[in-house]
A and B are shown apart, each in its own frame.
Chain A
Amino acid sequence: MGNDTILEARNINKYFREPVLFHVLKDINFKINNGEFVSIMGKSGCGKSTLLYILSTMDTDYEGDLMFMGEKITGKPHEELARIRNKHIGFVFQFHYLLSEFTVLENVMLPAKKLGIKSLGEIRHDAMEKLKLLHIDDQAHKLASRISGGQKQRVAIARALINDPAIIMGDEPTGNLDSMNAENVLNIFKDLVREQNLSLLVVTHDHDFADQTDRIIEMGDGRIIHQ
Chain B
Amino acid sequence: MINCKVILSISKTHLLSRIKQTAIAALGVTFGIGTFIILVSFMTGLNGLLDGLILNRTPHVHIYNEIKPSATQPIDLYTKITDGFKVVQSVKPKFTQAKIHNALPLMSQLNANPDVKGAIPQLRAQIFYISGSIELGGNLVGIDVLEEVRLFNFGQYVVKGTPQALNNIENGILIGSGVADKMSLDVGNTVQVSTVGGAIFPLKIVGIYQSGLADIDNIQSFASLKTVQRILGEPQNYITDINVKLFDIEQAVPMAQFIEKQFKLTAIDIKTANAQFETGTSIRNLITYAVSITLLIVAGFGIYNILNMLIYEKMNDIAILKATGFSGRDVKYVFISQAILIGLIGGILGLMIGFGMSVVIDNLPFETDALPTIKTYPVNFNPWYYVIGITFAMVSTFLAGYLPSRKAQKIDPVEIIRGQ
Residue contact B323 to A101, C-beta cutoff 8 Å = no
Let me know if B72 is at the binding interface, CB within 8 A: no
List residues of chain A with CB within 8 A of the CB of B325: 82-83, 85-87, 111, 114-115, 163
**Closest partner residue, chain A, to B7 (CB atom):** A114
Query: Given A99-B317, A113-B2, A116-B3, A59–B324 Cβ distance below 8 Å?
Result: no
CA distance A93 to B316 in the complex (A): 12
**Of A83, A93, A100, A114, most B-chain CB atoms within 10 Å:** A114
User: For window 283-323 of chain B, which residues contact chain A by CB distance below 8 Å?
Assistant: 316-317, 319-323
Query: Which one of A78, A82, A94, A116 has the greatest number of beta carbons of chain B within 10 Å?
Result: A82
Please state if B414 and A59 are interface contacts (CB–CB under 8 Å): yes
Shortest CB–CB separation between residue A195 and chain B, in angstroms? 23
Nearest CB on B from A117, distance (A): 9
Q: Are B6 and A114 in touch, CB under 8 angstroms? A: yes
Task: Given A53-B414, A58-B414, verify A116-B2 contact (CB < 8 Å).
Answer: yes
Q: Which of B320, B325, B330, B420 has the most CB of A within 10 A?
A: B325
Is B418 positioned at the interface, with any CB of A under 8 Å from its CB?
yes
CB contacts under 8 Å to B, within A94-125, are 94-95, 97-102, 106, 110-111, 113-116
**A85–B324 CB distance below 8 A:** yes
A93–B324 CA distance with the chains assembled, in angstroms? 11
* Nearest-Cβ distance from residue B415 to partner chain A, whole angstroms: 9
Q: Which residue of A lies closest to B2 (CB)?
A: A116
Complex interface residues of chain B between 1 and 58 (CB less than 8 A to chain A)? 2-3, 5-6, 9-10, 13-14, 17
User: Which residues of the partner chain A approach B319 to less than 8 Å between Cβ atoms?
Assistant: 97
Q: In the bound complex, what is the Cα–Cα distance between A91 and B414 (angstroms)? A: 12
Q: Which residues of B contact A190 (CB under 8 A)?
A: none
State the CA gap A124–B124 with chains docked (Å): 88
Q: How many A-B residue pairs have CB under 8 A?
A: 78
CB distance from B188 to the nearest CB of A (A): 80
- Whether a CB of chain A sits under 8 angstroms from the CB of B155 is no
Contacts of A56 in B (CB 8 A): 323
Residue pair A113, B6 in contact (C-beta under 8 Å):
yes
Q: What residues on A are CB-neighbors of B418 within 8 Å?
A: 49, 53
- Residues on B with beta carbons closer than 8 Å to the beta carbon of A79: 327-329
Which listed residue (B5, B316, B323) contacts A58, Cβ 8 A?
B323
Complex CA distance for A95 and B324, rounded to whole angstroms: 15
Q: B17 to A101, Cβ gap below 8 A?
A: yes
Is A82 a contact partner of B14 (Cβ separation < 8 A)?
Answer: no
Interface size range of chain A in the complex: 20 to 34
Asked if A159 lies at the interface with its beta carbon under 8 angstroms from chain B, I say yes
Q: Which of A6-26 contact B (CB under 8 A)?
A: none
Find out whether the CB atom of B420 lies under 8 angstroms from the CB atom of A95: yes
Please determine whether A97 and B316 come into contact, CB atoms closer than 8 angstroms.
Answer: yes
B324 touching A91, Cβ below 8 Å = yes
Contact A101 B327 (CB under 8 A): no
**Chain B nearest CB: distance from A92 CB in Å?**
10
A114 & B414 in contact (Cβ 8 Å cutoff): no
B413 at the interface (CB under 8 A from A): yes
| Docked-complex contact A97 and B326, CB < 8 angstroms | no
Instruction: List, in ascending order, chain B residues with CB within 8 A of A87's CB.
Output: 325
- The answer on a CB contact under 8 Å between A86 and B326 is yes
- Min CB distance B118 to A, Å, is 66
Contacts of B316 in A (CB 8 A): 97, 100
- For A116, what are the chain B residues with a Cβ–Cβ distance below 8 Å? 2-3, 6
> Given the complex, which residues of B lie within 8 Å of A115, measured CB to CB?
325
Q: Is the CB of A93 within 8 A of B417?
A: yes
CA–CA, A53 and B417, complex, Å: 10
B327 CB contact (under 8 Å) in A49, A78, A102, A163: A78
Q: How far is the CA of A85 from the CA of B330 in the complex (A)?
A: 14
Closest residue of B by beta carbon distance from A80: B327
* Contacting pair B417 A78 (CB below 8 A): no
Q: How far is the CA of A114 from the CA of B6 in the complex (A)?
A: 7
Question: Is B324 within 8 A of A111, CB to CB?
Answer: yes
Contact A78 B324 (CB under 8 A): no
A99 cross-chain contacts in B, Cβ below 8 A: 317, 320-321
Q: Which residues of A contact B13 (CB under 8 A)?
A: 101-102, 106
Smallest beta-carbon distance B28→chain A, Å:
23
**Which residue on chain A has the smallest CB distance to residue B324?**
A111
Q: Residues of A at under 8 Å CB distance from B?
A: 49, 53, 56, 58-59, 78-79, 82-83, 85-87, 91, 93-95, 97-102, 106, 110-111, 113-116, 159, 163
Question: Can you report 16 residue pairs joining A to B where beta carbons are below 8 Å apart?
Answer: A49-B418, A53-B418, A58-B322, A82-B322, A82-B325, A82-B326, A85-B325, A94-B420, A99-B321, A100-B316, A102-B13, A110-B6, A114-B6, A114-B330, A115-B325, A116-B6
**New A-B contacts (6) at CB < 8 Å, excluding given A110-B10, A116-B6:** A53-B417, A53-B418, A58-B417, A78-B328, A82-B322, A82-B325
- A-B pairs, top 10 by smallest CB distance, nearest first, are A86-B325, A116-B2, A82-B327, A101-B17, A113-B6, A111-B324, A85-B325, A59-B414, A53-B414, A79-B327
